[in-house]
Structure 1
Amino acid sequence: MWNNVRQLNIITSALHAALLAIVLSWGGLWLVKRPSFALRALLISGDINHINQTIVRESVLGNLRGNFITLDLDQVRIAFEQIPWIHHVSVRRVWPNKLRVTLKEYKPLGVWNKNQLVSVNGEVFNANQAGSELPVFTGPLESVHTIVTRYYDFRKWFYPLGAKLKEVTLSPCYAWTIKLTNGMQIELGQEHTKDTLASRAQRFVVAWPIVTQRWGSDIQYVDLRYPNGFAIRATGIGFIPSNPKSNKPIL
C-alpha cells in the first residue's frame, strides 16, 4: 500500500476531510455557545386577547431549552399550543437573538355541554368560562357541527321575536329545543326533512304579532311540533293550541 501513490493520496484526502470536519464541528459548537446568540426577546403578536405575561412565563418560558440557533421551534410551538384559547401558533427566528411568535386564538361561539367551549367553526376546546355570557349548546359530541350550523339558522329564523338565543339543545333522540334570553322555551322536535324546522319556525314567527296582541309577549313555552299549528303557555294561561284540529304534537 505504501508504494501505491493513488491509495496514499486517497488516505491523505480522507484524513484532511476528517480533520476539517472536526475543526468545523468544534468551531460551530464554540460559535453557537457565544453569549451573542442567547435569546434576548420573545416577540408575540396576533390574537392575544386571552393570554398575558404571567401565562407565557408559566407555560412557555420555563420550557425553552437552547439559544437562538439551537432552540427547537417545534417545541416552542407545542408549548404555546398548551395554553388555553390558542388555536394556531407560528414561530420564526429574528436575527440575531429574537423569536417572533404569531398566535391565533379560538373564536368562541358558545359553551359546550357546560364545561367546554365551542368555536365559531364548531371546534370544541377547553378554556376559562368565567363571566361568559355565551349561549349554551348541549348534545352528543358527534353533533357539534350540526348544532353550530343550526344555531346560525335559529338565530336568523327567530330574530323577529326580539330576543337572542340562550340555549340550544339536541336530545339523544335528535329533537331540538331552544331557549331565548326572554325566558321563552321553544320545542322544535325532530328534523324529518331539510325543511321541517324552517317551516315550523316560520309558522310561529308569522303568527307572533297575533300571539302577542292576544296573550302578550310574556310567553313561557311554545310547542311547534304540531302538524298544522303550535301550542303556547303564557303567564297565567295554560296550553293554547293555535289550531284546535291539531291537538296532538308530533316529534
Structure 2
Amino acid sequence: MSARRKQAVRKQTATVRRWPRLSLWLALPLLIVGLLGWGVAVLLDPATLPVREVKVQGRFEHLNQAMLSRALQGDFSVGFLRTDVERIRADVQALPWVAHATARRQWPDTIVVTIEEQQPVAIWEGKGLLNAEGEIFYPVKATFPAGLPEFRGSADETRLIVAAWRESQAVFEQLGRRIVSLELDRRHVLRMVLDDGVEVIAGREDVAQRLSRLVGLYRDALQGRGADIERIDLRYANGIAVRWKKGQAG
C-alpha cells in the first residue's frame, strides 16, 4: 500500500472516531433540556406539590366571614405552583370591607393571604362609608359601625370633607362636643350639627379662624346654654349670629 493511501486511511479512521464524540456533545444539551422538562412537569404535578393550607392574616371587626370564605374558593386542585395567587388577591380585594389584600406562596404547601380591613370615619350619604383617605366603600348596611358621623357633599370632594371634619372636630373637642353630621354644599359652605343638636354654619373661608372665635365666645357667653341654641352662624367677618330656640332669649 502506498504512503498516500495509508495516510488517507488514517484520516478516514480519525474522522470516524470523532463522530461518536460529536454526537455525544450534540445529544448532551438535548438530554439536559429533557431532564429539566421532566423535572418541571413533576413539580407542576398537583400530586407532587399540593396546596394543603390557606392561611389568612389580619385583624377584622366587620369583614363578613362567609363572603371571605367564598372569595378564597380558588382552584387549588392545580397544585402549589399553578395556583393563581393574583386571582385570589383580586377576589379578596373586591370585598367591600377590604382596604388592601396580598396573596403569596409559602413553601412548600401554603397560600398566605394578608388582609387590611377598612377603617371608616363616617357614613357617606346614608348609603356607604368613608375611610380616612376619603375613599367611599359600600358594605352591607347592617355592618355599619354605630356612632359614626354622617357626611354629605360631592363625591369628588371627599378628601376635602374629611379634612374639614378633622379640623372642625379638633376644635369642638375643646368644648366637649362632637360632630354628628357634616355637609359641604355646592357653594362650599360648611354646615355641621353637634351632638347637642346645635347647627353650626362655618362658611367657606377662614374656617379655622372662625371656629377659634366660636370657642372663645362659647366659653365666655354660651357655656351651659347649648340646649337653648338652635343655630350658630360663623359667616360674619367680625362676629357670630346665634339663633335661639323658640321661647328662649339671648
**Same fold at TM > 0.5:** yes
* Alignment match, 2:222: 211
Give the counterpart of 1:223 among 205, 210, 233.
233
Aligned-residue offset at 1:98: 0.9
- Name the aligned partner's letter for residue 150 of structure 2: V
Give the counterpart of 1:105 among 117, 124, 132.
117
- Name the aligned partner's letter for residue 117 of structure 1: L
- Aligned residues, how many? 234
Provide the secondary structure at the position in 2 that maps to 1:150: helix
* Alignment match, 2:164: 150
Whole-Å separation in 2 of the counterparts to 1:107 and 1:187:
28
* Alignment match, 2:12: none
Whole-Å separation in 1 of the counterparts to 2:204 and 2:47:
67
Give the counterpart of 1:185 among 199, 206, 213.
199
* Superposition pairs of residues 1-251 of structure 1, within 5 angstroms: 13-62=25-74, 66-130=78-142, 131-132=144-145, 133-191=147-205, 196-209=206-219, 210-212=221-223, 217-237=227-247
What TM-score does the superposition give when structure 1 sets the normalisation length? Answer: 0.80
**Cα separation, partners in 2 of 1:223 and 1:65, compared to 1, 3 Å:** farther
Whole-Å separation in 1 of the counterparts to 2:215 and 2:168:
12
**Alpha-carbon deviations, 1:124-161, whole Å to 9, x = none?**
22323424331112122221111111111111112233
Whole-Å separation in 2 of the counterparts to 1:232 and 1:175:
17
- Name the aligned partner's letter for residue 56 of structure 2: I
Whole-Å separation in 2 of the counterparts to 1:76 and 1:238:
62
Q: Which has the higher helix share?
A: 2
**Cα separation, partners in 2 of 1:4 and 1:238, compared to 1, 3 Å:** farther
Unmatched segments (≥5 aa) in structure 1: 241-251
16-25 or 166-175, larger mean C-alpha shift: 16-25
Aligned-residue offset at 1:63: 5.4
Whole-Å separation in 1 of the counterparts to 2:24 and 2:48:
37
Whole-Å separation in 2 of the counterparts to 1:57 and 1:83:
11
Provide the secondary structure at the position in 1 that maps to 2:68: helix
| Percent identical | 26
Aligned-residue offset at 1:43: 0.9
**Cα separation, partners in 2 of 1:121 and 1:89, compared to 1, 3 Å:** same
- Name the aligned partner's letter for residue 171 of structure 1: D
Provide the secondary structure at the position in 2 that maps to 1:225: coil
Whole-Å separation in 2 of the counterparts to 1:95 and 1:67:
12
**Cα separation, partners in 2 of 1:9 and 1:221, compared to 1, 3 Å:** farther
- State which structure, 1 or 2, has the greater radius of gyration over its C-alpha atoms: 2
What TM-score does the superposition give when structure 2 sets the normalisation length? Answer: 0.80
